[in-house]
Amino acid sequence: MNNQQSVAEAFIKYQTEKIRQYKADPSVPSFQLNNAEMELAQALQRKAKIQPTGGTRTSSNVILKVPKGTRDFHPAQMRLRSEVLNKITNIFKLHGAHQIDTPVFELKEILTGKYGDDSKLIYDLKDQGGEILSLRYDLTVPFARYVAMNKISSIKRYQIAKVYRRDNPAIARGRYREFYQCDFDVAGQYESMIPDAEIVKLLDEILSCLDIGKYVIKINHRKILDGIFQVAGVDPELFRGVSSSIDKLDKSPWEEVAAELETLRGLNKKQIGTIAMFVQISGSLSKVLNILMTNYEIMACSLAKEGIDDMMLLINYVKALGIPDSRVLFDLSLARGLDYYTGVIYEAIVESTTESEAIAVGSIAGGGRYDNLVGMFDANNRKVPCVGISIGVERIFSLLEQRKDSSLKPYDVEVYVASAQKDMVGHRLRLASLLWDAKLKAELSYKPNPKLLQQLQYCEETNIPWVIVIGQDEVARKVVKLRNVQSRAEVEVSESDIVSELKQRLAGAVLPSAVNN
């Protein structure tokens, strides 16, 4: 017997004895006995639920599980998920973004050659005759396909949808094979860094409203990174590979990355030394810009210079937008894995507050500018420059689930229709119908002759604040008893007034759930 079980046993023993005493004592009022019995019944039910669960097979010997790296979302989780997605959606809309949706799969060739090494993680569909399809790997490539196919020259869009990667799942860190991405992108020919700055603002708004603790938005620029490689004397053909190695710095120490640069990428010690010097630099936008601008070799490199010019604009815009210095970090080691970025790149990091969270957190958003992707889909190579950000909400869910009270009740039914006697189904249905038509959230027992005690118990357990109780007498007089579940106080209300009465009480009352939490 585990601890939970023994506590439950002890309470049941205590409560049983109390009821025996109440019954023996004629001075105890009947409502007190009723309440004690209700509490006992609840305890018995709770005890019944304390049972270990495990894997199982069905009667036809099928293993009963969800596919590797995926999960079901239970009602309480769905509530948290909707809450988070709604907050994000509202901020996307503040910035005037339009929502679009694309199919969960694309022609395989649309995805081919867009993800570099990660292409091996794409889920393919079986060839069942007809087109060869793959599940989407992100929302960026389908968006670029959408812009090219619909000949759109400018759009600010958001899309919230699941993407699929045959990666090694790490559930505790919130890494799944099926997961939501929330993407915001600005497509269009703009000679400025204004949309690039707006995205920093948008990200700051989202992260601050999600209440996930301290965070920092890392920024870098692909042209500055490539400029550094050029200054270090690296062959331009190796730039993306070197970038890919540098990208591992958030998980691996410099020594490992340096070893990979030497053995896998073929760089010499001097080249690695130069890169090492630069990628250690991080700090406020102005601090890092100052360091770069006093470096003669960097300023002589036209590629790096273009990136620096962009960052000069960005620093002014980020200031005008009122984003505090402490939440933005110019980090020359930020590289981002994907090939298609061409300008500014972003990554948001949540700082852990406890040791167990240190595992769960890390990067929760990433993005950047990709000016050539749409052109790859256009017959005339017509370019539509884009910049965007993708919020990886799965890690945010994991974080909030760890931090939040796990007893979060998913119910918000407002009123329950109960009967105190038998053969009242028709009247219960009639009253429930009245409530539904008035847009009140209502439930009733599905049993033909439920016991009143069980009905009231259900309301207490599920935090339903009000119960309408009827019997033959009430039906004959066209009234109902309106009972407050928490206080157990009852008033009689006429059937014709019950909707307005309930609406008033629901609007004004402090609900039991609000009091308990």
Q: Is 381 in the site for a second copy (CB under 8 A)?
A: yes
Report the nearest approach of a second copy to the CB of residue 261 (Å): 31
Candidates 26, 29, 52, 130; binder of a second copy (CB under 8 A) is 130
Mark residues 311-350: x for contact with a second copy by CB under 8 A, - for none. Answer: -----xx-xxxx----------------------------
If the CB atoms of residues 196 and 347 are measured against a second copy, the closer one turns out to be 196
# binding residues, a second copy (CB under 8 A): 109
Is 146 one of the annotated binding-site residues? no
Q: Is 288 in the site for a second copy (CB under 8 A)?
A: no
Question: Residues 297, 343: contact at Cβ < 8 Å?
Answer: no
Q: Which of residues 68-107 bind a second copy (CB under 8 A)?
A: 68, 70-75, 78-79, 81-82, 90, 93-96, 98-107
Q: Which of residues 148-187 bind a second copy (CB under 8 A)?
A: 148-151, 157, 162, 164, 166, 178, 186
Encoded tokens for 44: 């018995």
Is 185 one of the annotated binding-site residues? yes
Encoded tokens for 108: 């395989």
Picking from 304, 240, 314, 239, the residue whose alpha carbon sits closest to that of residue 271 is 239
Picking from 298, 294, 228, the residue whose alpha carbon sits closest to that of residue 261 is 228
Question: Residues 297, 231: contact at Cβ < 8 Å?
Answer: yes
Candidates 2, 27, 30, 53; binder of a second copy (CB under 8 A) is 53
Is 336 one of the annotated binding-site residues? yes
The H or E element that residue 11 is part of is helix 3-24
Q: Which of residues 107-126 bind a second copy (CB under 8 A)?
A: 107, 109-110, 112, 123-126
Is 340 one of the annotated binding-site residues? yes
If the CB atoms of residues 165 and 483 are measured against a second copy, the closer one turns out to be 165
Q: Is 212 exposed, middle or buried (0-12, 13-18, 19+ CB in 10 A)?
A: buried
Candidates 427, 463, 469, 512; binder of a second copy (CB under 8 A) is 427
Q: Is 214 in the site for a second copy (CB under 8 A)?
A: no
Question: Residues 247, 335: contact at Cβ < 8 Å?
Answer: yes
- End-to-end alpha-carbon separation of the chain, Å? 30
Encoded tokens for 96: 């005037």
Picking from 78, 25, 115, the residue whose alpha carbon sits closest to that of residue 409 is 78
Is 89 one of the annotated binding-site residues? no
If the CB atoms of residues 201 and 223 are measured against a second copy, the closer one turns out to be 201
If the CB atoms of residues 26 and 322 are measured against a second copy, the closer one turns out to be 322
Angle, vertex CA 132, rays to CA 98 and CA 153, nearest 5: 30
Amino acid 484 reads N
Picking from 226, 201, 202, 191, the residue whose alpha carbon sits closest to that of residue 308 is 226
Q: Which of residues 12-51 bind a second copy (CB under 8 A)?
A: none
Report the nearest approach of a second copy to the CB of residue 470 (Å): 13
If the CB atoms of residues 148 and 242 are measured against a second copy, the closer one turns out to be 148
Candidates 436, 473, 477, 497; binder of a second copy (CB under 8 A) is 436
Encoded tokens for 416: 């329950």
Q: Which of residues 218-257 bind a second copy (CB under 8 A)?
A: none
Long-range contacts of 240-243 (CB under 8 A, 24+ apart): 240/116, 240/339, 241/265, 242/267, 242/275, 243/335, 243/336
Q: Which of residues 187-206 bind a second copy (CB under 8 A)?
A: 188, 190-192, 194-195, 197-198, 201, 205
Stretch that binds a second copy, among 15-23, 236-244, 354-362, 435-443 (CB under 8 A): 435-443
Q: Is 443 helix (H, G, I), strand (E, B) or coil?
A: strand
Question: Residues 140, 100: contact at Cβ < 8 Å?
Answer: no
Positions of E strands within 362-496:
363-370, 386-391, 415-419, 442-444, 466-470, 479-484, 490-494
If the CB atoms of residues 265 and 503 are measured against a second copy, the closer one turns out to be 503
Tell me the binding residues: 138-140, 165, 181, 185, 336, 340-341
- Binding-site positions for L-histidine read 138-140, 165, 181, 185, 336, 340-341
